[in-house]
Amino acid sequence: DVMWSTNKQIIEISKDKPLNKAIPSFMSYFSVQFGLYDGYVHIIEDETKIKQDFGPQIIAGIVEKVLFKIKNEAYNKQIER
């Protein structure tokens, strides 16, 4: 997937290059900000390929820890809990 993506993998945002100028408004994205201005954006090209734990895994990678694991349960079983 990454090999064939048409967009940059990670885009840096800052006071000089805010989120609304870093990516087009129609695109899906995941962003992580540190403070008021600095952070990173990942453009999501195909929303159907994003797993449920995409965001937590990004944060876990940043802090270099395993925060938790999401169980692969059926939707109905998750509702019962």
Contact criterion met (CB below 8 Å) for 11 and 41: yes
- The helix/strand/coil state of 10 is coil
pTM of the model: 0.60
Distance in angstroms (rounded) separating the CA atoms of residues 69 and 41? 23
Confidence class of residue 37 from pLDDT cuts 50, 70 and 90? confident
- 55-75 mean pLDDT: 70
Assess whether pLDDT exceeds 70 at residue 48: yes
Q: Residue 16 pLDDT more than 90?
A: yes
Quick check: helix, strand or coil at residue 12? strand
| pLDDT number for residue 80 | 63
Q: What's the confidence (pLDDT) of residue 46? A: 83
Q: How far apart are CA 39 and CA 33, in angstroms?
A: 4
Q: What is the mean pLDDT of residues 25-54?
A: 85
